[in-house]
Amino acid sequence: MAHQIETAPGVHLHVEDEGSGKPVIFIHGWPLNEAMFHRQKQAVIENGYRYIGIDLRGFGRSDQPEENYIYDTFASDILAVVKELELEQYTLVGFSMGGPVAIRYAVKYAGEQLEQLFLLGPAAPSFTKRMGYSLGMEKEDVDDLMEAIDEDREKALQDFGGNFFYQDVSEEAKQELFDLSMQASKQATISAAEALRDEDLRDEAGHIRVPVTIFHGRHDAICEYGFAEELEQRIPTVTVVPFEESGHGLHVEEPDKLNDELLQRL
């Protein structure tokens, strides 16, 4: 079943809702959408859980407003979905940019119904270098990426996708990544990259009070493995599961391992 859920005046999110049992909410990365999780969706449903896949505003089949592509807005949209679907005792899964969005949600918006947090190659605590933090991209490089998207979005996203995988994945997997990326609006793609550049969750991460598991590719060239090690120092309730044969696309490169690890913890 698919829902169109209004999360703000004039903004409706596309939400996939399939299966039964305890809900598992999936939040995609930049600039993808919930369809990236189709390998996990099948495993979740077949093992007796309810799959909730949210297309963030501006991405996939959700509405594409002109503004408000910041972590706080994404997180408040998730809260609106949780309330509308009356979800209880759920797990939240965030991939890449969906990781810091999930952290923001867990700290600022989640009530006692959130049981645990899974972070997949999270772009957290900060996607870019800053004072006292040497990990991630230079802010200027994100500026260049935003400019490249504005000038030639197809080429910019193809170039970005070239860093997504460690393994030599199929052309079909590469095309899937590109196709999902192109379903986002150009404005959302640029504005969410700005949020990735500017947001800093180093202090926030320490306030998570539910169990957290981080699944991270050792060879991640987009959100380096050091992010997981940094979060491990900051989150009091964390477990890190390394993926030895994956880059950023661990859901494609080691899908069976990821599914097994997720299901063991649900």
256 to 32, 43, 188, 260: CA distances (angstroms): 21, 9, 31, 6
Report the interhelical angle of 171-182 vs 153-161 (nearest 10°).
140
pTM recorded for the entire structure: 0.98
Whether 170 is catalytic: no
Q: State in Å, rounded, how far the first CA of the chain is from the last one.
A: 22
Instruction: Residue 238: name the closest of 260, 261, 205, 204 by CA.
Output: 205
The active-site residue out of 126, 185, 216, 220 is: 220
Tell me which of 14, 28, 216, 248 is the catalytic residue. Answer: 248
96 is catalytic: yes
191 is catalytic: no
Check: CB of residue 230 under 8 Å from CB of residue 125: yes
Fold of 2-265: Rossmann fold (3.40.50)
Report how far residue 176's alpha carbon sits from residue 109's, in angstroms, rounded to the nearest whole number: 32
Nearest to 248 by CA among 116, 99, 134: 99
Q: Provide the total of helices (H) and of strands (E) in the chain, helices listed first.
A: 11, 8
Looking up tokens 């490089």, which residue turns up? 141
Computed on alpha carbons and rounded to an integer, the radius of gyration of the chain in Å comes to 17
- The residue from 14, 55, 62, 96 that is catalytic is 96
Task: For the chain, 266 residues long, give each residue's pLDDT as a single digit of tens.
Answer: 999 999 999 999 999 999 999 999 999 999 999 999 999 999 999 999 999 999 999 999 999 999 999 999 999 999 999 999 999 999 999 999 999 999 999 999 999 999 999 999 999 999 999 999 999 999 999 999 999 999 999 999 999 999 999 999 999 999 999 999 999 999 999 999 999 999 999 999 999 999 999 999 999 999 999 999 999 999 999 999 999 999 999 999 999 999 999 999 99
Indicate if the alpha-carbon torsion angle 159, 53, 227, 58 is positive or negative. positive
